[in-house]
Every structure is written in C-alpha cells, then in structure tokens.
C-alpha cells in the first residue's frame, strides 16, 4: 500500500489538532490577559498559553491519528484493538488531558489574579498604600499556596478515577489517617488555627517590623503555621503561630521616633525646648525627609529629674519603617545645634574624697 494516503491522513489529523490547540491557546491567552494586562507580567500569560497549546496539540493528535489512519485504509494491531485504543484516547485519555490542563490553567489564573489583586492594592498614593501593599502581599502568597494544594489534590483524585483506580479506599484511609494524625498533631492544628486568626485580624503582614516573643526583625513570611522573621544580623527566626505569646508590630499604620534628651541643671529648659522645636521644624521642611514625617515634632515635657540633670522627652510621627532613618538625622541635627548654641549635655562625673591624715591617723 502506498504511504502517501497514510501521510496525508496523518498530516490532516495534525492540522486539525493544531487548529484545536491554537483555539484553546487563544482562549487561555484571552482569559489570562484580562486578568494580567500589564506587559511586565507577560510571562504569566505567555508560558501558560504555550503549555496549553502543546498539551492540547499532543493529545488531540494522538486521539485523531488512529481514526485518520483507518480512514486511509490502513489496518494496524498496535495495542490490540485500534478501535479500543482510539476510544480510550478519545474518552478517558482526553478527559485526563483536560483535567491536567484545566488544573494547571486554574492555578495560573489564580496566581495571575492574586498578582493583579496585589498590584491594584498597591496603586495610588498616600500612607494607606503601604498598609494595603503589605496586606495584599500576605494574602496573595497565602491564597496561591492554598489554591495550588487544593487543585492538585482534586485533580489527582479525578485522574486516578479515570485510570479506573478505586479511590474509595484512598479517601477512607485518608480519613482514618487524618483522624489519627489529628490526635497526634494537636500542636499543628493549634498553629494553623492561630495563623488563620492572625491573618484574618491583620495583626502582622509581610514587610512589617515586629517583635515576636521578645525577638525583633523584619517579617519575611506569614504562613498558616509559622511566622518568619529576619533580624538585623540576617538570622532567620521561625515561630510557630501557636507559640506566639507576645507580638508587637512596630510598623503598622504609622510609627513614632521617641528620644529622651538629658540636660544639665545649668541649662534653661525653655531655651532647650525652643531649640529642639526649631530643629524639628527644619527637619520637617527638608525635601528629603518631609515625605517621611506625618506631624510636627512633639515636646512631651520634662520626663525626669535626676542628680545634676533633667530629661526632656520628644517624639516624631513618621510613616512606617522610616522612624529610624528620621531619628538618626534628628540626632545629628540636635548635636550640631547644641554645639552651635553652647548647650552641653551632662557628662559623667566622679567625686573623689581625700581624707587628710591627723596626728593619730596613718595613711
């Protein structure tokens, strides 16, 4: 038999499969593009489109190949009955491919949607943008992980059922194992529940500076089970959410830089307060620091009276995470202003008493 009809039939099958794959890829591209319109995120659109096109092309070509060869008059016994093989490819095989592609597509759509949510929450100007961005980043990562686990689990069970694998024992065994693990993993369950409420109540977000159980650091991840901090030395600290006893968020909504200025009794408190207020106003008028300062410097008053000195407490309201940058500049300007106006801060003194020896005493 001449191979020309067979090659023509296979070429026709591949052409039809390509048209089907291109239609599926265009549909996937349209859906993803509506979610991710930004050109900087094209990899979240192009990569799924190419994968969908390739998988649909392979599956459709395999499903159409045997019927096309049969129509060309060629008889084959590959895999036993060609009709049965073609029927399986068009029935269960096609459904398996659709389940796999759909699962991948749903995960990618979920990731794209989460990124769009994160980007839209980060748009605009003002102080609340920082808070919205942190909240969006935390929720986005959590939703992506949860969606991927759920979709992969459901798709895996559906594929096993298409392969004629009885999943009832699997589900029953999973239920029994889950019950047994639940009794033995009460700590994990406690951590997950605590993490759920920690995220729901918006207590801490990715990017915050927080002190957890006495340990401070930058929040790198907020998971359902753990919260991850990195301190200023680069050390990573992981705390189970159920073990979080104290949590202090130092960068939520706004922050304060607070400092106590010790002064000698020889200095006039009113003069010192006027100078500190002047320095604070100059710092707020500086173009480099004005965006970080939310309110004029506050003089909280005389805080303490100690031996030979008194203390003036001041504070400055800043945007989150900028209290240390503004505070360092404020310290530098205060030192310079005190030197220019002859104001000296108290110095540590040591009193030495010398007892002169009398006639009846000896040193």
CA distance linking residue 205 with residue 219, whole number of Å: 7
pLDDT at 329 over 90: yes
CA distances from 164 to 74, 82, 83, 167, 183 (A): 31, 20, 19, 9, 33
Same domain membership, residue 81 and residue 33: yes
Same domain membership, residue 277 and residue 210: no
What are the tens digits of pLDDT across the range 167-199? 676 666 666 666 655 655 677 778 888 888 887
CA distance linking residue 129 with residue 117, whole number of Å: 13
Examine residue 64 and state whether it is found in any structural domain, yes or no: yes
363, two tokens = 């040193």
For 219: left if phi > 0, alpha if psi spans -120 to 50, otherwise beta; the answer is beta
**Biggest CA pair distance of the chain:** 139
Residues of the domain holding 302: 255-340
CA distance linking residue 194 with residue 57, whole number of Å: 46
CA distance linking residue 201 with residue 298, whole number of Å: 31
CATH of the domain at 222: 2.30.30.60
Domain final residue, candidates 226, 249, 272:
249
Examine residue 178 and state whether it is found in any structural domain, yes or no: no
Same domain membership, residue 125 and residue 57: yes
Q: Quick one: pLDDT at residue 123?
A: 66
Count of C-beta atoms within a 10 Å radius of residue 120: 11
Same domain membership, residue 155 and residue 64: yes
Same domain membership, residue 158 and residue 52: yes
* Burial of 323: CB neighbours in 10 Å, binned 0-12, 13-18, 19+: buried
First to last CA, the chain: 129
pLDDT at 207 over 70: yes
Same domain membership, residue 130 and residue 15: yes
pLDDT at 79 over 50: no
Examine residue 217 and state whether it is found in any structural domain, yes or no: yes
**Can you give the pTM of this predicted structure?**
0.50
CA distance linking residue 118 with residue 141, whole number of Å: 10
pLDDT at 332 over 90: yes
Q: How confident is the model at residue 1 (pLDDT cuts 50, 70, 90)?
A: very low
pLDDT at 80 over 70: no
Same domain membership, residue 325 and residue 225: no
Q: How confident is the model at residue 4 (pLDDT cuts 50, 70, 90)?
A: low
Number of domains, the chain: 3
Q: Quick one: pLDDT at residue 38?
A: 56
CA-CA-CA-CA dihedral for 295, 297, 303, 309, to nearest 10:
170
């Amino acid at each position: 038999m001449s191979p020309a009809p067979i090659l023509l039939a296979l070429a026709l099958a591949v052409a039809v499969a390509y048209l089907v794959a291109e239609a599926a890829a265009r549909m996937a591209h349209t859906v993803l593009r509506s979610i991710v319109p930004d050109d900087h995120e094209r990899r979240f659109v192009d990569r799924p489109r190419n994968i969908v096109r390739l998988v649909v092309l392979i599956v459709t070509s395999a499903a159409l190949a045997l019927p096309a060869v049969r129509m060309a008059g060629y008889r084959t016994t590959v895999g036993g009955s060609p009709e049965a093989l073609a029927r399986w490819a068009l029935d269960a095989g096609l459904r398996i491919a659709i389940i796999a592609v759909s699962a991948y597509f749903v995960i990618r759509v979920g990731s794209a949607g989460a990124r769009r949510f994160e980007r839209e929450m980060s748009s605009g100007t003002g102080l609340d943008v920082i808070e919205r961005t942190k909240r969006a980043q935390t929720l986005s990562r959590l939703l992506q992980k949860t969606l991927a686990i759920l979709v992969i689990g459901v798709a895996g069970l559906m594929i096993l059922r298409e392969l004629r694998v009885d999943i009832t024992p699997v589900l029953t065994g999973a239920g029994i194992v889950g019950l047994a693990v639940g009794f033995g993993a009460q700590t994990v369950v406690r951590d997950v529940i605590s993490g759920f409420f920690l995220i729901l109540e918006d207590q801490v977000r990715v990017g915050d500076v927080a002190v957890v159980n006495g340990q401070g650091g930058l929040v790198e991840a907020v998971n359902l089970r753990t919260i991850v901090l990195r301190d200023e030395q680069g050390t990573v600290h992981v705390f189970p959410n159920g073990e979080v006893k104290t949590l202090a968020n130092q960068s939520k909504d706004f922050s304060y830089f607070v400092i106590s200025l010790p002064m000698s009794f020889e200095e006039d408190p009113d003069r010192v307060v006027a100078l500190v207020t002047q320095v604070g106003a100059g710092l707020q008028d500086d173009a480099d620091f004005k965006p970080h300062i939310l309110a004029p410097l506050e003089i909280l008053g005389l805080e303490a009276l100690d031996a030979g000195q008194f203390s003036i407490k001041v504070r400055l309201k800043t945007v989150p995470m900028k209290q240390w940058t503004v505070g360092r500049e404020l310290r530098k300007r205060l030192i310079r202003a005190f030197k220019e106006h002859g104001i000296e801060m108290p110095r540590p003194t040591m009193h030495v008493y010398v007892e002169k020896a009398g006639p009846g005493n000896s040193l």
